[in-house]
Amino acid sequence: MARAVTNQRKAINTAVAWGIGLLIFFPILWIFILSFKTESDAIKTPIEILSATWTLENYGVVQERSDYGKHFYNSVIIAVGSTLLGLIIAVPAAWSMAFVPSKRTKDILLWMLSTKMLPAVGVLYPIYLLFIQLGLLDSRAGLVIVLMLINLPIIVWMLYTYFREIPGEILEAARMDGATLKSEILYVLTPMAIPGMASTVLLNVILAWNEAFWTLNLTAAKAAPLTAFIASYSSPEGLFYAKLSAASTMAIAPILIMGWFSQKQLVRGLTFGAVK
Amino acid sequence: MATQHSRSAARLMMAPAVVLLLGWMLIPLSMTLFFSFKKYLPLRGDSLENGLEWVGFENYARFVGSSSFWPSVFTTLLIVGGVLVITVALGILLAILLDQPMWGQGVVRILVIAPFFVMPTVSALVWKNLFMDSTNGFFAHTWRAFGMQPIEWLSQASMPSIIMIVSWQWLPFATLILLTAIQSLDSEQLEASEMDGAPILSRFFYIVLPHLSRAITIVILIQTIFLLSIFAEIFVTTGGAFGTRTLTYLIFQRVLESQNIGLGSAGGVYAIILANIVAIFLMRIVGKNLDA
């Protein structure tokens, strides 16, 4: 039986939860508000800021001064590229581990997870050196490869937990009916696996978009994504609050929206299936 | 039953992922190990072509012996510990609150998890300038409105400031996972205890908390792994000054700023060992879950 809840208690819950929710969200809201103010208004007191006039000029200035478009393009290529490349490599691996498990499957999965624990700074110089040798420093291709590798364990794990939920009997039935391995994957598995794969892609694009160790240390002017674009605002020249806000809004808005759609997958992906 | 044929096909399908990750792990790791036993200062003319001098464990001893080592370990532990305490404690409270019946639950949840999607460089820069700046920041205006002297957050209270920024980023993660766990709690059990007259605190300590213990453990372990290597938050706020130099940041400075590769590599090996100690615990829990 559902618990009877008085409207009064519900109203209190609502008020407290909304209060805390808005408090936590406030910094993001504030960035958004400041991005529509002039520089001289943006440094005033909060009340003066709210009553000041609204403007769109910051967005134009940011694009003009630091070429938002180029960095956005780099971010998209790096995030989407590394995720898709990871998917191509991970799907066969996760498929075989989920449907043809062997005694070593568990060990392999755990070992893959352990590579994720390798602290980036521990291998910073080797990667830096290899990148110089291979001409990958400050290239999008280099970052696609590195981010693919650091997210590959998560992609394999997420796909594995999704694939394992697909009932094996269906595959066996297909096999009995004489389906080849190829048609089994193409016509039986893929349609059932697409929702899980979509969630995996979503979460990994988010993770790659926000990655801020390798993207800061392996790029300069050419391949810098939005993480580095924003970091360039850390040494301000004169008034810059409104422009920083506009730049920040443009850097986080796409991923914030994607993130809200992937809440549920986030839990599964980031706990490696341990919490569902 | 899997046939012999499908077994070898399976192995083949696994190969690219395994080989790539093996390479990703072994090649840089062995290079780091190699450099950690060498004297390697590119700016002073050392180069791979001319061969590097073998110095045994000297780098390891010097890294630990340097005056910045123990403070950096202490700073790291303080940040990790502080963020864990804040995010887990507030996360539990928020998860319980969000699990209650209310209007607009979905919207509140979206508001609460939003900070997780903000990239670390944005979050750090915005906190540093828009909020913590002692002249024009939001906090400075607020402090002045109440007639108080604004605080120089990132220099006078550098550690609490960093811990606050990082907690803001990770609170959504803890909340979301604990909320997922709390939703699987059998509500009949809670109702029964409520009818039996169990006060709210004992319901929390004897029913809710034990139910959440596994999720809490997972939150702690996963966050620890990520928190041990936070970088951007320090890089754009204090640059390691004012006692905020973590182990990760110290190694970064040794390697890229002072270009002492041997010393930095030895530090890297320490960081890897530290991360692996945490990782072993996490793997045990995840591994148990695989059998279930």
Contact A228, A71 (CB under 8 A): yes
**Banded model confidence at residue A273, pLDDT cuts 50, 70, 90:** low
**Banded model confidence at residue A196, pLDDT cuts 50, 70, 90:** confident
What is the predicted pLDDT for the residue at A145?
94
Q: Domain tally for chain A?
A: 2
What domains are defined for chain B?
Answer: 66-291 (1.10.3720.10)
- Alpha helices (runs of H) in chain A, residue ranges in sequence order: 7-34, 39-42, 46-51, 57-66, 68-99, 105-116, 124-133, 140-164, 168-176, 181-183, 190-210, 214-217, 226-231, 241-261, 263-270
Structure tokens at A138: 């400050």
Q: What is the mean pLDDT of chain A?
A: 85
**Per-residue pLDDT tens for A137-165?**
899 999 999 999 999 998 998 888 888 88
Give the minimum alpha-carbon distance from B201 to chain A in angstroms, rounded to a whole number.
18
CA–CA separation, B203 and B148 (whole Å): 42
CA–CA separation, B6 and B292 (whole Å): 25
Which residues are bridge partners to B38 per DSSP? Answer: B54
Which burial class, exposed, middle or buried, applies to A263 when counting CB atoms under 10 A from its CB (0-12, 13-18, 19+)?
middle
Whether residues A198 and A120 fall in one domain: yes
Does the pLDDT value for residue A223 go beyond 70? yes
The answer as to whether A260 is a domain residue is yes
**Closest to B48 measured CA to CA, from B61, B60, B26, B31:** B31
Which burial class, exposed, middle or buried, applies to B10 when counting CB atoms under 10 A from its CB (0-12, 13-18, 19+)?
buried
**Closest to B115 measured CA to CA, from A247, A159, A29, A110:** A29
Which burial class, exposed, middle or buried, applies to B182 when counting CB atoms under 10 A from its CB (0-12, 13-18, 19+)?
middle
Does the pLDDT value for residue A234 go beyond 60? yes
* Inter-chain touch B236–A22, beta carbons under 8 Å: no
Whether residues A140 and A209 fall in one domain: yes
**Banded model confidence at residue A131, pLDDT cuts 50, 70, 90:** very high
What is the predicted pLDDT for the residue at A103?
83
Does the pLDDT value for residue A271 go beyond 80? no
**Banded model confidence at residue A29, pLDDT cuts 50, 70, 90:** very high
Highest-pLDDT range among A16-20, A102-106, A202-206, A207-211: A16-20
Whether residues A143 and A165 fall in one domain: yes
What is the predicted pLDDT for the residue at A1?
40
The answer as to whether A254 is a domain residue is yes
Neighboring chain B residues of A22 at a CB cutoff of 8 Å: 111
**Which chain B residue's Cα is nearest to A25?**
B111
CA–CA separation, A175 and B28 (whole Å): 43
Report, as ranges of residue numbers, the positions in chain B whose pLDDT lies below 70.
Answer: 1-4, 289-292
Does the pLDDT value for residue A256 go beyond 70? yes
Average pLDDT over residues A227-235: 81
Q: Which pTM does this prediction carry?
A: 0.86
Contact A24, B114 (CB under 8 A): yes
The answer as to whether A2 is a domain residue is no
What is the predicted pLDDT for the residue at B292?
52
Whether residues A87 and A198 fall in one domain: yes
Whether residues A173 and A87 fall in one domain: yes
Higher pLDDT, A3 or B256: B256
The answer as to whether A276 is a domain residue is no
* Inter-chain touch A108–B282, beta carbons under 8 Å: no
What is the predicted pLDDT for the residue at B290?
65
CA–CA separation, B190 and B207 (whole Å): 7
CA–CA separation, B107 and B105 (whole Å): 6
Give the minimum alpha-carbon distance from B131 to chain A in angstroms, rounded to a whole number.
8
What does B190-214 look like in DSSP terms, one character per residue? HHHHHHTT--HHHHIIIIIHHHHHH
CA–CA separation, A113 and A153 (whole Å): 6
Give the minimum alpha-carbon distance from B25 to chain A in angstroms, rounded to a whole number.
6
Does the pLDDT value for residue A78 go beyond 70? yes
Domain coverage including residue A27? 7-58
Q: Rounded to an integer, what is the distance from CA A3 to the centroid of its chain?
A: 38
Mapping DSSP onto H, E and C, the string for A5-19 reads: CCHHHHHHHHHHHHH
Average pLDDT over residues A184-209: 83
Whether residues A155 and A184 fall in one domain: yes
The answer as to whether A215 is a domain residue is yes
The answer as to whether A122 is a domain residue is yes
Contact B95, B109 (CB under 8 A): no
- Amino acid letter for position A251: A
Give the minimum alpha-carbon distance from A187 to chain B in angstroms, rounded to a whole number.
18
* Helix axes A263-270 and B105-113, enclosed angle (nearest 10): 50
Whether residues A40 and A109 fall in one domain: no
B62 touches chain A (CB under 8 A): no
Whether residues A141 and A97 fall in one domain: yes
Neighboring chain B residues of A24 at a CB cutoff of 8 Å: 111-112, 114-115, 168, 171-172
The Cβ of residue B210 has, within 10 Å, a number of other Cβ atoms equal to 9
Share above pLDDT 90 across residues of chain A, in percent, rounded to a whole number: 22
Contact B110, B284 (CB under 8 A): no
Contact B171, B94 (CB under 8 A): yes
- Amino acid letter for position B122: V
Structure tokens at B79: 């940040």
Which burial class, exposed, middle or buried, applies to B199 when counting CB atoms under 10 A from its CB (0-12, 13-18, 19+)?
exposed
What is the predicted pLDDT for the residue at B291?
61
* Rounded to 5°, angle at Cα B266 from B260 and B267: 85
Contact B162, B244 (CB under 8 A): yes
The answer as to whether A1 is a domain residue is no
Contact A74, A140 (CB under 8 A): yes
* Nearest neighbour of A24 by CB, restricted to B24, B115, B282: B115
| Cα atoms in the 13 Å half-sphere on the side-chain side of B129 | 28
Whether residues A93 and A201 fall in one domain: yes
* Nearest neighbour of A275 by CB, restricted to B18, B180, B287: B180
Whether residues A50 and A71 fall in one domain: no
Whether residues A27 and A109 fall in one domain: no
Q: Rounded to an integer, what is the distance from CA B242 to the centroid of its chain?
A: 20
Whether residues A75 and A43 fall in one domain: no
Higher pLDDT, A131 or B196: A131
The answer as to whether A114 is a domain residue is yes
Structure tokens at A118: 């390798």
Average pLDDT over residues A229-242: 75
B130 touches chain A (CB under 8 A): yes
What does B220-244 look like in DSSP terms, one character per residue? HHHHHHHHHT--HHHHTTTTTTTTT
* Rounded to 5°, angle at Cα A274 from A272 and B1: 85
**Per-residue pLDDT tens for A81-111?**
999 999 999 999 998 888 888 888 888 888 8
